[in-house]
Copies of this chain bind each other. A is one copy, B any other.
């Protein structure tokens, strides 16, 4: 049995990934779970608290599911990253939570905006380490890391913009394979 707190986070994350922070209300979440909106305030006093917790949980789970940067070979690491973001796209064409929050960052409560930024910092850091052997030049390594992360987040957007499920796969594979020379296996 999942705790109420976890169920709130699950439902809110799903809503935020579909329409952003401003697209859902405490009542929306409460109704879907079958509780009252006042109960959500017990777990998360303000909506900003909820959004911050959403982004923090998402970031931690996301990177926990990825291999530590130098623990496996480059190809495996890149595969895991692509497939992690692809999972967002698969079930219902959802955005990456932090990609969504970065897009709307100017209209987020500051504490939530900060957590969203932490996801990108950690993502770039992870990628730079993954690319460290293949790309000894620091500037070029940063450029590739930025390009890969941008390409994957953008692939989620184009998939939604075109409404075609394969949109993510084609774009993501093209970007990562061209930039790294590694062959990606989607699963």
A contact residues vs B (CB 8 Å cutoff)? 18-20, 22-23, 93, 95, 98-100, 102-108, 116-117, 119-121, 124, 142-144, 146-147, 149-158, 160-163, 167, 170-175, 178-179
Q: Is the CB of B157 within 8 A of A104?
A: no
Nearest CB in chain B to that of A167: its residue = B146
- Name A174's contact: one of B98, B104, B119, B147 (CB within 8 Å): B147
- Name A158's contact: one of B93, B95, B102 (CB within 8 Å): B102
Count this chain's copies in the assembly: 2
Within the assembled complex, what's the spacing in Å between the Cα atoms of A143 and B178?
Answer: 11
When A and B form their complex, which 10 residue pairs have the shortest distance between CB atoms, in order from nearest? A154-B154, A19-B107, A120-B161, A22-B22, A102-B161, A150-B154, A23-B107, A147-B174, A146-B171, A18-B106
Nearest CB in chain B to that of A162: its residue = B120
Q: How many whole Å from A119's CB to the nearest CB in chain B?
A: 7
Q: Which of chain B's residues have a CB closer than 8 A to the CB of A98?
A: 161
Within the assembled complex, what's the spacing in Å between the Cα atoms of A161 and B99?
Answer: 8
Main secondary structure of the interface of A (DSSP, over half): helix
Q: A119-B161, A147-B155 are in contact. List 15 more A-B contacts (CB 8 A).
A: A19-B106, A98-B161, A103-B156, A106-B160, A120-B162, A146-B158, A146-B167, A147-B174, A147-B178, A150-B151, A150-B172, A154-B154, A154-B155, A175-B175, A175-B179
Q: How many whole Å from A150's CB to the nearest CB in chain B?
A: 4
Q: Which of chain B's residues have a CB closer than 8 A to the CB of A106?
A: 18-19, 93, 160
